[in-house]
A and B are shown apart, each in its own frame.
Chain A
């Protein structure tokens, strides 16, 4: 076989592999879109479920997912970013910090249902938060932490070392350097990590299963100690637990969830590219 032919064969295989990756995503989104679009209406998104969820809308689940995402952010973002700053800027390479890193990597690998069980044990039962938005948010926050920490730490480490040295040579403290020079430069990466982490939290079913999600609760929660419906769990319920469920509503719900998660993805991409254009190194 000639070298030229082999090269062509190589390129063909590589582009085919790329198509294999892209195709399922297009098919999935397209399928959900086609099946779910007929169900979508203002009433569907903002209405309460009726007739044992076989009619009506998904509003309580939408609100629940929004609240849980917000709650996750409130707990996970400050802690996650703080840990990332500590690891990237302050921590020396010691046995202790290696242990922390190892813990974070392993935390990222824990199956989400195990987080659910852990949240049930710690927040719902031991801390007596009950099955509540508070318990669910905390559980999701712990699950999200590794993502936020590792992406933020990576973003901080990408900021050139020379900025740190120059800033410190001007007589600033290390915290001033981080606050005024390093963090602003790492912000796009940090924000991307936060959004990707929250996006995962928004779409998860298992961690909220035992900690917050309500099977059927056709009203909005009034406090953080209330249960709430949430889109992923609602989708699971109406897909497997309710006989005689119209397919239209199942796919409509899937489409709402998908739209929510994908728009967070787009937000992450836009944030990143907007800041990257402004970046000065």
Chain B
């Protein structure tokens, strides 16, 4: 691909305070306008990798990071980087939907307002646009002032997706975003992702191999902190090159 990568992980290793090595020399390119799925068994370092990308791992004390993480060619761990701006640029959706204890509308305007957006019209526009993009607008447009927690589980997760979109990010990180959802809600979220990748860079840790196979344009298999194999979604699942990838994809372990 001639295009330069959105994210470039350059020999990244990561050790937690208790000595657990979560990542071992991972090098990876993540490109815009496609869905990169990072999959593998639990404890493989998928979530750690995701949280490195928006520096949410800063919240865990005693980390040790080696290597470089570049976003559009800039080291996001360089001194002087505005972490808050970075997190708005690299939004995140979590496994469990957590609406903040406020109304649906406030959930969406909270991030932009804290970043300094004050104009009412601009905020209203963000609310509608992000809910549309998360395929939730029709269901909640008449109840924007109800608490976010009043929504169903699937709606809550789409609200969380919309909340991230309201930040107008470059990149969207999703950490097992459908693990608590029923198949219909899951399908809705997956469908939104296909639309969203036209405009964003999407990195997802899927909650199953099947989901990885469904959504991935580019798939990355991780095992015990190592990147075992990566490749286009189509071929990685049908013709894995590495023995361990094949064993995992075919369900021999995991």
Contact = CB atoms under 8 A, between A and B. Distances in A.
A9 to B, nearest CB: 45
Contact of A171 (B59, B87, B96): B87
B65 interface: no
Nearest to B114: A172
Contact of A166 (B85, B88, B100, B147): B100
A160 B88 CA distance: 22
B100 A163 contact: yes
A170 B161 CA distance: 11
Interface in B144-170: 147-149, 160, 163-164, 167
Interface residues of A, number: 21
B101 interface: yes
A169 B87 contact: yes
Given A163-B100, A163-B101, A170 B56 contact: no
A239 B92 CA distance: 67
A180 B84 CA distance: 16
Q: How large is the interface on B (under 10, 10 to 19, 20 to 34, 35 or more residues)?
A: 20 to 34
Interface in B44-70: 54, 56, 59, 61
Contacts of B41: none
Given A170-B114, A171-B87, A280 B167 contact: no
B114 A171 contact: yes
Contact of B101 (A165, A173, A185): A185
Contact of A172 (B54, B56, B86, B111): B111
A166 B59 contact: no
Nearest to A172: B114
Given A165-B59, A280-B149, A171 B100 contact: no
B143 to A, nearest CB: 15
A170 B87 contact: yes
B91 interface: yes
Interface of B: 54, 56, 59, 61, 84-88, 91-92, 94, 96, 98-101, 110-111, 114-115, 147-149, 160, 163-164, 167
